Amino acid sequence: MENIMLLFTELANAKFDQMSKKTEVSRDAQDMANRVDALLASLADAKGKAELPEDVIAYMRENNIEVNGMSIDKFIAENGTNLDKADLTAVKSALESHSGRASDFVQQNQLKLQQLMQNFNTAVTMANSVQSM
């Protein structure tokens, strides 16, 4: 019985670690999207351009975030680092999508963790019942 309890604990800890990492991914991606949004807000007119910050590019590269189905490097090769409103909006959308997927992962795993805890509680109840016999 002790082994079963240990297994439940290890599974719950592993699930919680996954959730923590994805929460961080979601926050970081949203932070980058907010920075791109600030660039968009700073454009004087619809034809204005702004340079995508290097750390945003590096983040997208490290996390394999695609823009319009292209890697950030290919996107920049085609459009340059000085992007217009439409290109900046595409980058922002890609970052928000990445953040949203990570957030969805966390929400789904919260349900799995809840189910795991219910199973743990059931196992404890059964163990107590067996001991009291």
**Distance in angstroms (rounded) separating the CA atoms of residues 76 and 59:** 14
For residues 22 and 98, the answer to whether their CB atoms sit within 8 Å is no
**Quick one: average pLDDT of 39-43?**
90
- Which H or E run contains 42? helix 2-42
* Residue entry with tokens 């189905």: 69
Closest to 95 (Cα-Cα) out of 22, 35, 19: 35
What local confidence, expressed as pLDDT, does residue 31 receive? 96
Q: Hey, what's the torsion of the CAs at 68, 70, 71, 76, to 10 degrees?
A: -80
- Tell me what pLDDT residue 70 has: 94
Quick one: average pLDDT of 53-77? 95
Q: What is the pLDDT of residue 29?
A: 95
Q: Which of 96, 97, 98, 76 is nearest to 87 (CA)?
A: 76
Confidence (pLDDT) at 110: 86
pLDDT digits (tens, 9 = 90+) for 75-115: 999 998 899 999 999 999 999 999 999 999 888 888 888 88
Distance CA 52, CA 13 (A): 38
Nearest partner of 41 among 106, 92, 4, judged by Cα: 92
What would the mean pLDDT of 26-55 be, rounded to a whole number?
91
Query: How far apart are the C-alpha atoms of 93 and 33, rounded to whole Å?
Result: 7
Buried-state track 40-67, b at ≥16 Cβ within 10 A, e below 16: eeeeeeeeeebebeeebbebbeeeebeb
- Domain regions of the chain by residue span: 2-121
